[in-house]
Every structure is written in structure tokens, then in C-alpha cells.
Structure 1
């Protein structure tokens, strides 16, 4: 059975998953890239960008596992791009160039309809206007028995988390303090929602914490 998983989602030790003032120049917010430093050094990251170097330690192994067994993705609109309101045209095709790293159907949450967008390498962006439950239903069908990965951003993960829809949540906790930005858990009682820490692993540049919903563990 397909699970909805958050994998390799970086947060600061004070709980922020993005910095403040996100825009075209700062897609992760001011100082947001510091959260991803654990990933930037891995071979998995370098391979995604055409390189053949990079580190092969714990962080890399966990990053590679994050892409295994994924049949579809769900993204919030902010993760797809900085465009707000109705789509002015079809010129914006994401942050990733002609061949995004997903290689599966990707369901983008939005309030404004847009035709599907087929990219090189097997990625197809499909735009969902009916909300998170519809996106999960469509992504699960497209995944064909494999898992669905929820890519973010923070507000999108919070919506699915509040609804108790996430089965597994892998957080890469970076040893930095952002102080402001988008907080992942503020106002959310994860224990009451049935989540618990299944394991934690120390990597080279992050501590990897794996949360699991107890109902998911009992399936």
C-alpha cells in the first residue's frame, strides 16, 4: 500500500523549514540555503546536477534512500515557483530547467487551473485545484503502489500534517539557528496526532530524525 512520506526535509534546530522573505532571489528565504548544506555536499546532489563527485557518507546514503520507491510527488505552489495569483502564461516551468529531478508525475497544489506540463526525463507537472485530499488521491493512483513523496514547502507539509495524512516524516535537522521564517511545528501537537520518533541517525552535517504515525506503523 502506498504511503505518504516526507523525506530529506531540512529544518533548523529552532524548527524553521525556510527563512524569511522568500522571493525569486531567495527561494528558501534569507539564510534558507544553510538548511540544505547537508545535502549540497552529497554525491546524490552532485549527480542530480551532472557531476560525478561528492561525499558518500551517512548524509548521502539517506539522501539516496529518499528517492527510492517513489511513484509520485506532491508540491505546494511555492515549491514550483515564485508566481502568485492566476498564471499569466505558461512560461514558468519550475526551478529545475528542462529536466527536473522528479522523473514521475508531480501534483502541484494551486488555486488557479493550468494545463499539465510534460518535461524531459519523465516528469509531468499536474496542477490540482481541489485541495490536499484530491492531490493525495490523484498522486496515490499515479504512484501505482509505490510511495508518494510530499516535497513541501513548509505550509504544505503543515496542512498534510494537521490532517494526519503523512505516514512517515524524515527531518534533516541542521545545527543552525534561523530565528525567524516558516516554522514547521508551531501550533501542531504531533504527539496528539499519533506521531512518534522511530529512529534517529547522526550524519556528517545533519541529524536525521524519522517520525512515524502510529496508525501507519500498525498497517
Structure 2
């Protein structure tokens, strides 16, 4: 296997990206040994420090196991890697046709359960912050870009007030790159962002301490069905 020489800028990033792509695309099978640092440095036309840094990052992603004085072995990314791999590789590299759908399902699950926990655990300050965020979101209409930013702030307040640090870290990951919207078609994403009534309903259910209602409202909003009205949702409690 051959690799093209690295560009002069960000040589470690170049080596890391090429090796990451080779592993996740199956050019190296689990258990295979990568070429030695010396061979990789020669192939990429970089120094061994750049190669060593790239291998360190691959190990952090769960793609390889680096052994001091021994071969660097490829790991099965499906068994060892975390969400950081999807955020690093993106939909154009990771060989998973359903990645966009899968991220959206994860997003809906985290959002719904965070809303449920929020209704139970949120402090008075947390509930007020969510109410203000819902108002800021509504005030941003109909500017879609402004609504998208306000929507992100709204959900951040909910996840923060849920008291679940793992959800907060996952939220940070999901909103930190191209996978933030999981490849959702633009028209469907627009529908979700413009559903002001559903956002207000969710805020009021959390304020009322209705955990089951908040969970239903959040899942409905993130699953992107037909719009939910405040009367319908509150009346079902």
C-alpha cells in the first residue's frame, strides 16, 4: 500500500487522517500490523515525530494499539472506538450508510431523557434559564439561522439542568461538528426549527415538573413529526 507525501502544513494531521481512513475503510484488518514508524515516515516524507503523534491520536480513537518496541496493531473500531471517531471521520469516511440516521436517533434519545430528568431535577434557576431560552428562540423567528443558534442554546440549558454530565459531554460532541444535525434533510430540519409551539410546550412541561410529558414532547420534537400544539400536549397529561 502506498500513501501520498504529506503537505508541509499540518503534517501530523495529514498522516493521522490517511491512516485513520485506511483503517476504518478496511484497508487494514483488525490484527494487522501497520508499517513501522521508520517506513511510514519514509512513505509520507515526514519525520518520525509526526508519525508518532499520528499513531498516538489513532490509539486515542481506539483504532490501533501501540506497543513499545513492537508492532502497532489495528483494532476493530466497532468494538473499541467511541463517538469521537464519527466526529473525526465524518459521513464521507466512516463506512456506515445509516450514520446520519443513527446520530439523529441518539440525539432524540438523549434529548428526550434529558428533558425527563430536567423536569425532575432542575433547580429554580435552571427552569428560569430554560424559559428564557425558549423566549429567545421564539423571538428569533423567522430568521432560520438565528433560530438555529437559539435552538442550540435552548437544548443546552435543558441538558445542563438535567444534571447528567455524560449527556452534557455527548451534547458537546454532537454539536461540535458536521454531525450536529446528522445529515438531516434541510426541509425536515427547517420544520423542527420553526416549531415554536413545541419548544414552548416543552419549556412549560419542564417548569410544571411533568417528567413524562416533557419526555414525550422532547421526543416528538426531535423525531420531527407533525407539529405539536400546546393544548394537545398539556391536555394529554
Under TM normalisation by the shorter chain, which class is it?
under 0.3
Relative contact order higher in (CA < 8 Å, ≥ 6 apart): 1
More strand by share: 1
Tell me the TM-score normalized by structure 1: 0.24
Tell me the TM-score normalized by structure 2: 0.22
Q: Which has the larger radius of gyration?
A: 2
More helix by share: 2
